[in-house]
């Protein structure tokens, strides 16, 4: 008779095989009501799953990440159920979980309208309220194909027919609706309490543009209505903070069709961009990096040696010269760094060498994937390549992690998650090498007391990596910095250093990016701050405005005095009403507005208005300079 071991270490014995739901009920009525699924020996299963041998069991509820994904998966099926009730001629295809939601693709004779979506959502709510049981059934493959063909679901029949013959497949039934699925699912539709349909988009069957176009309905689902409301509020905030709109409003940058995926930086945007580089240059110099620069265009042979030509060719921009040489715009800075290290003989005394580069890289991204500054074809990486001995590897990893986290704090990112991605199936290098590299990253984090999440199999083909995920002010996550350890590229480029015993040894190479793409990080900052940059980053830190033409000369003098102190200041001498000027510069998110009238001119002062509308009153120019310097220094 089975013994069930629970996460708290306790055990429960049963006289007969028992379902997950029955185990939950034996623990308490509250847990029985909350149970959505179970994890039996690490495998996610339905609450109806029968446990007939000694097993480890964790009850999954909506408090667990797996529980929320389960809710989203089941809500996708609820969507399909509602569509079939309202539009019987529609055919269902696939409906997976995606980040923060789900979608389902349908074949239907006409486009779904916003009114259709409202009706579908209403029917979903009705079906959920009826608390219809969801049950798993196992079918023979050929019987399932015949069944779906008989009810006119040719797409489902095609999917099932692709499964090897003789296999048993699982279907899930809720009411009159039956769908192909591996599961698991929530035990009944009543568990689905907080969802909303978001939009309709086109999608090709099986993602192939040669196939017919389907209609994809996107939705979101959450554990409760409060979480749903919070998510919808984040979407509203994200819309207000859209960096593409703010970039135009603040006169930072633009894009145009004849240079897709490439940024046209305006003067204010370029000022912001250069401030980021200057900040990073200072921090890297303090941390012992030396800055280098490598060519943007290099011969095909170099990319063959690095392996990019064979693994990344479709993303590279290439050109051929009259003498038949093939060149590529660099998609990565690594081969250039290899070539830099290879120049001259290196000794163990020279290591570690920390080589930083603000390298311009070019990658072909499909036009449909381009998204403002967040996804471009031409961008700048704050790359660094650290060459060190194996003994130095762990300390260098710790130093990089500490530097990354400290830099993020300077930009207001205190909530940072770290992901450790380990060896993939398709990899190069021996297991012994991978053990060393993964061990160095894990040990660095452990010794620093830094928590991390393990992602087995998600590393690069040449080495494991750390990814740093920032959470912004409205709760969105952004993957930015990376740290990778690599012993393969040094091998490919035959890099060596002279060891203490005069033998030649391979260096370990660390690939490191802090912001990642500066263009993308700029887009993230615009949305994080909603355009209200801290004073030190603001492209225009203050604007001096005269009330009438009588104060224009004094306003210009104030502007020049502030510029001589190193501040980025503009004067607004337009013959417009002061209320208009204040509103205009408030829309442009300028941190300080200095208003000068006859009184201020006579007393040699300025009336200061802070961003957000706070009136700071009159102050002398020296007082204002002290305030600015204190704020920037702080």
Instruction: Answer yes or no: is pLDDT of 175 > 90.
Output: yes
Average pLDDT over residues 485-513: 93
Domains and CATH numbers, the chain: 3-61 (3.10.20.30), 66-239 (3.30.980.10), 253-529 (3.30.930.10), 535-633 (3.40.50.800)
Q: What is the mean pLDDT of residues 247-268?
A: 95
Can you give the pLDDT at residue 168? 83
Annotated binding-site residue? 385: yes
Nearest to 419 by CA among 384, 464, 382, 461: 464
The string of pLDDT tens digits covering residues 518-566 is: 999 999 999 999 999 999 999 999 999 999 999 999 999 999 999 999 9
From residue 247, alpha-carbon distances to 523, 527, 589, 621 in Å are 9, 10, 12, 31
Inter-residue contact 49 to 2 (CB < 8 Å)? no
Best-predicted range by mean pLDDT among 208-212, 428-432, 484-488? 484-488
| CA separation for the pair 310, 298 (Å, rounded) | 16
How crowded is residue 179: how many other Cβ atoms within 10 Å of its Cβ?
A: 21
The residues, ordered by sequence, that sit 6+ positions from 100 with a Cβ below 8 Å of its Cβ are 220, 231
181 is in an annotated binding site: no
| Averaged pLDDT score across all residues of the chain | 93
Percentage of the residues of the chain whose pLDDT score is greater than 70: 100
Beta bridge partners of 463: 460
Residue 595 DSSP code:
E
CA–CA separation, 247 and 240 (whole Å): 12
Specify whether the CB–CB gap between 67 and 37 falls below 8 A: yes
Q: Are 191 and 74 in contact (CB under 8 A)?
A: yes
Q: Distance between CA 232 and CA 634 in Å, rounded? A: 35
The residue to which tokens 């980053």 are assigned: 537
For 65-90, the pLDDT digits (tens) are 999 999 999 999 999 999 999 999 99
Whether the predicted pLDDT of 416 surpasses 70: yes
* Pairing, β 3-5 against β 55-60: parallel
Distances (CA, A) of 506 to 340, 434, 456, 487: 15, 15, 27, 8
Q: Note the pLDDT tens digit of each residue in 504-524.
A: 999 999 999 999 999 999 999
More confident: 368 or 442: 442
DSSP label at residue 112: P
Residue for token digits 């050929």? 142
pLDDT per residue as tens digits for the range 151-166 = 999 999 999 999 988 7
pLDDT, one tens digit per residue, over 139-151 is 999 999 999 999 9
Note the pLDDT tens digit of each residue in 18-27: 999 999 999 9
CA distances (Å), origin 127, targets 175, 217, 253, 389:
9, 18, 48, 63
Give SS3 for 565: coil
| Secondary structure, 3-state, 244-301 | HHHHHHCCCEECCCCCCCCCEECHHHHHHHHHHHHHHHHHHHHCCCEECCCCCEEEHH
Percent of the chain topping pLDDT 90: 84
- Cβ atoms < 10 Å from Cβ of 66: 16
Cβ atoms of residues 318 and 304 within 8 Å: no
Give the pLDDT confidence score for residue 478 in this predicted structure.
94
**pLDDT at site 470:** 94
Please give the Cα distance from 360 to 517 (Å, whole number). Answer: 10
Q: What is the DSSP pairing of strand 43-45 with strand 264-265?
A: unpaired
Cα atoms found within 13 Å of the Cα of residue 455, Cβ hemisphere only = 13
Please give the Cα distance from 307 to 303 (Å, whole number). Answer: 6
Hey, is 349 helix, strand or coil?
A: helix
Cβ contacts of 236-244, under 8 Å, gap ≥ 24: 237/474, 238/474, 238/476, 238/527, 240/530, 241/474, 241/526, 241/527, 241/528, 241/530, 241/531, 242/527, 243/372, 243/373, 243/374, 243/522, 243/523, 243/524, 243/526, 243/527, 244/372, 244/373
Query: Residue 163 carries which DSSP code?
Result: S
For residues 576-585, give the mean pLDDT: 94
pLDDT-derived band of residue 313, with 50, 70 and 90 as boundaries? confident
Helix, strand, coil distribution of the chain in percent, nearest 5:
40, 30, 30
Distance from C-alpha of 76 to C-alpha of 80, rounded to nearest angstrom? 6
- Known catalytic residues? 334, 363, 381, 383, 385, 465, 511
Residue 634 has a pLDDT of 56
Question: Is residue 428 predicted with pLDDT exceeding 80?
Answer: no
pLDDT of residue 323: 85
pLDDT (average), residues 47-64? 94
* Residues ≥6 apart with Cβ < 8 Å to 29: none
Note the pLDDT tens digit of each residue in 210-253. Answer: 889 999 999 999 999 999 999 999 999 999 999 999 999 999 99
Contacts 24+ apart (CB under 8 A), 309-313: 311/461
Mean pLDDT of 94-119: 94
266 known ligand binder: no
């Amino acid at each position: 008779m089975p013994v069930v071991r629970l996460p708290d270490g306790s055990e429960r014995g049963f006289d007969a095989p028992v379902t997950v739901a029955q185990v939950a009920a034996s623990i308490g009525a509250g847990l029985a009501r909350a149970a959505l699924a179970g994890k039996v020996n690490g495998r996610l299963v339905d609450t109806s799953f029968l446990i007939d041998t000694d097993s480890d069991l964790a009850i999954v509820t909506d408090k667990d990440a797996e529980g929320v994904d389960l809710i989203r998966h089941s809500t996708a099926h609820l969507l399909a159920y509602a569509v079939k009730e309202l539009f019987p001629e529609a055919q269902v295809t696939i409906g997976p979980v995606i980040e923060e939601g789900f979608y389902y693709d349908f074949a239907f004779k006409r486009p779904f309208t916003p009114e259709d979506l409202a009706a579908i959502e209403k029917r979903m709510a009705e079906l959920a309220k009826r608390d219809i049981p969801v049950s798993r059934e196992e079918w023979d493959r050929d019987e399932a194909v015949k069944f779906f063909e008989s009810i006119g679901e040719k797409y489902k029949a095609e999917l099932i027919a692709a499964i090897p013959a003789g296999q048993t497949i699982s279907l899930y039934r809720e009411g009159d609706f039956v769908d192909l699925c591996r599961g698991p699912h929530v035990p009944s539709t009543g568990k689905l309490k907080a969802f909303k349909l978001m939009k309709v988009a086109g999608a090709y069957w099986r993602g192939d543009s040669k196939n017919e176009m389907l209609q994809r309905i996107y939705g979101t689902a959450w554990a409760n209505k409060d979480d749903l409301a919070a998510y919808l509020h984040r979407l509203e905030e994200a819309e207000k903070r859209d960096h593409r709109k703010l970039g135009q409003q603040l006169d930072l940058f633009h894009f145009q069709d004849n240079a897709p995926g490439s940024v046209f930086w305006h003067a204010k945007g370029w000022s912001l961009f250069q401030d980021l580089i200057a900040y990073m240059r200072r921090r890297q110099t303090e941390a012992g990096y030396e800055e280098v620069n490598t060519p943007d265009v290099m011969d095909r042979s170099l990319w063959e040696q690095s392996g990019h030509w064979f693994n990344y060719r479709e993303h590279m921009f290439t050109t051929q010269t009259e003498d038949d040489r093939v060149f590529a715009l660099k998609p990565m800075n690594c081969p250039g760094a290899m070539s830099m290290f290879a120049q001259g003989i290196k000794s163990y005394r020279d290591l570690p060498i920390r080589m930083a580069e603000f390298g311009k890289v070019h990658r072909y991204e499909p036009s449909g994937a381009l998204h403002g500054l967040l996804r471009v074809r031409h961008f700048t990486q704050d790359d660094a390549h650290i060459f060190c001995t194996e003994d130095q590897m762990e300390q260098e990893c710790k130093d990089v992690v500490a530097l990354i986290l400290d830099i993020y704090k300077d930009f207001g990112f205190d909530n940072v998650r770290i992901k450790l991605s380990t060896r993939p199936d398709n990899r190069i290098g021996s297991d012994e090498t991978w053990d060393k590299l993964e061990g160095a990253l894990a040990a660095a984090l452990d010794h620093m007391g830094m928590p991390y999440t393990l992602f087995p199999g998600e590393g690069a083909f040449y080495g494991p990596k750390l990814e740093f995920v920032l959470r912004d002010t409205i709760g969105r996550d952004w993957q930015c910095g990376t740290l990778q350890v690599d012993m393969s590229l040094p091998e490919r480029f035959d890099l060596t250093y002279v060891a203490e015993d005069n033998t030649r040894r391979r260096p370990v190479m660390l690939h490191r990016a802090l912001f990642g793409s500066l263009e993308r990080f700029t887009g993230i900052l615009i949305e994080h701050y909603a355009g209200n940059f801290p004073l030190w980053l603001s492209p225009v830190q203050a604007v001096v405005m005269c009330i009438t033409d009588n104060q224009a000369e004094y306003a210009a003098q104030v502007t020049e005095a502030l510029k001589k102190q190193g501040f980025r200041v503009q004067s607004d001498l337009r013959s417009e009403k002061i209320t208009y000027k204040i509103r205009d510069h408030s829309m442009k998110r300028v941190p300080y507005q200095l208003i000068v009238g006859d009184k201020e001119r006579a007393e040699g002062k300025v009336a200061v208005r802070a961003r957000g509308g706070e009136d700071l009153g009159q102050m002398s120019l020296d007082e204002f300079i002290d305030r600015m310097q204190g704020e920037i220094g702080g």
